[in-house]
Amino acid sequence: MTFARIAIIGLGLQGGSIGLAVREYLPEARTTGYDLSPQHRALAAARGLVDTVCETAADAVREADLVIFCVPPGAMGMAAEQVREALPAGALVSDVGSSKEAIAKALGEALPDHTVIPAHPVAGTENSGPDAGFAHLFRNRWCIVTPPAKVDMVMLSQLVGFWEALGANVEIMTPGHHDLVLAVTSHLPHLIAYTIVGTASDLEDVTQGEVIKYSAGGFRDFTRIAASDPTMWRDVFLSNKEAVLTMLQRFTEDLTALQRAIRVGDGDKLFDQFARTRAIRRSIIEEGQDDARADFGRGDHEGVSAGKL
Ligand SMILES: NC(=O)C1=CN([C@@H]2O[C@H](COP(=O)(O)OP(=O)(O)OC[C@H]3O[C@@H](n4cnc5c(N)ncnc54)[C@H](O)[C@@H]3O)[C@@H](O)[C@H]2O)C=CC1
Ligand SMILES: O=C(O)C(=O)Cc1ccc(O)cc1
């Protein structure tokens, strides 16, 4: 059995993609949606991201059996509070946030009488807002579901079935382990991209024009990642602070080791490291869910994935 009435709170890239995917893959289900921004509500209605765009969050959830919060991590608690009075007693609460422990806590505190099973589709792009969504975003991508220790198994399997219906491969993890894994595979790479693009734009001896003109492969890929939504990523780092700082510490140590190898002319050290990472890249592509994953900088929807290292 799947969900009949799905409410989506936040109609940006994720919420819009879920709405479109439900229409394509679960055509029996009815969708309602709400976005805090009146402009986003209008755009969502114009694109038909959900069957009904509501004027309040409460109206959107009134008849829902599943509500999915698709707002920035820092807005999850407030968005959940807005539906507390209207949410039917048996409705399942979930989300798509990029960090899990802090969001699970915020949703649980805002909706203490409901079952909350957080999830994270590891699928996205650098684009945001109601124009960014597309129905195939989740196809052949991972969705990590992070149930609490004591969970309603029927609801868990319903949620797993929902994501599988949208084309995702589901993995179950604890929220804490999710946050550690994603800190290194997604959050740290974004921090590095934000840093290097900022550094390049701040140089005194190299002009902005030169940076743009000569932005060959490597730098260009970083600029795509560094174009990701500032609100969302501010919230990701603040909500996954401990795991990101742990990974950043390790990264800094490894970077310092390479810095030393360059300074002392230790070519073997550099070569060994680069050979090791090249093998990792190749094994990712070989067992990749989609060959398009290899194309890191591609801007079209089919080729963009989040699971890349
Ligand atoms: N962008 C990506 O590639 C991915 C994002 N995520 C997660 O998905 C969530 C949503 O991200 P996107 O869809 O990319 O962001 P987005 O910026 O495209 O959409 C978020 C929407 O939420 C709305 N909003 C903000 N506060 C609200 C509130 N209190 N009530 C109702 N609507 C509100 C905004 O107006 C916006 O339309 C985030 O938690 C993010 O961590 C997960 C996987 C990938
Ligand atoms: O565009 C990319 O490369 C991404 O990495 C998208 C993305 C952003 C945040 C997530 O939590 C998951 C995926």
Residue nearest to atom 34 of ligand 1 (CA): 10
Pick from 18, 95, 122, 221 the residue to mutate for probing ligand 2's pocket: most ligand atoms within 8 Å of its CB: 122
- Cα pseudo-dihedral 157, 159, 163, 169, rounded to 10: -40
This model of the complex carries an ipTM of: 0.99
What pLDDT, in 10s, does the model give residues 86-136? 999 999 999 999 999 999 999 999 999 999 999 999 999 999 999 999 999
Distance CA 17, CA 31 (A): 12
Distance CA 144, CA 206 (A): 42
State in Å: Cα 306 to ligand 2 middle: 4
What's the gap in Å between 129 CA and the centre of ligand 1?
Answer: 8
Domain 177-303 has CATH 3.30.70.270: no
Question: What is the pTM assigned to this prediction?
Answer: 0.93
Structure tokens at 84: 């507390």
Q: Which of 48, 100, 25, 270 is nearest to 33 (CA)?
A: 48
Position in ligand 2 atom list of the atom nearest CA 124: 6
Domain residue spans of the chain: 5-173, 177-303
CB-based contacts of 30, cutoff 8 Å, min separation 6? 4, 5, 6, 51, 52
Q: What is the pLDDT of residues 62-89, one digit of tens each?
A: 999 999 999 999 999 999 999 999 999 9
126 lines ligand 2 (CB under 6 A): yes
Architecture per CATH, 5-173: 3-Layer(aba) Sandwich (3.40)
pLDDT of residue 210: 81
How many CB atoms neighbour CB 287 within 10 A?
Answer: 7
- Ligand 2 contact, 124 CB (< 6 A): yes
Are 181 and 173 spatial neighbours (Cβ–Cβ below 8 Å)? yes
Least confident interval from 24-28, 101-105, 220-224, 248-252: 220-224
Give CA–CA dist 121/168, Å, rounded.
Answer: 8
> From the CA of 122, how far away is ligand 2's center (Å)?
7
The first and second tokens of residue 222, run together, are 């970083």
303 pLDDT above the threshold of 70: no
pLDDT tens digits, 8-67: 999 999 999 999 999 999 999 999 999 999 999 999 999 999 999 999 999 999 999 999
Segment 139-160 shows an average pLDDT of 97
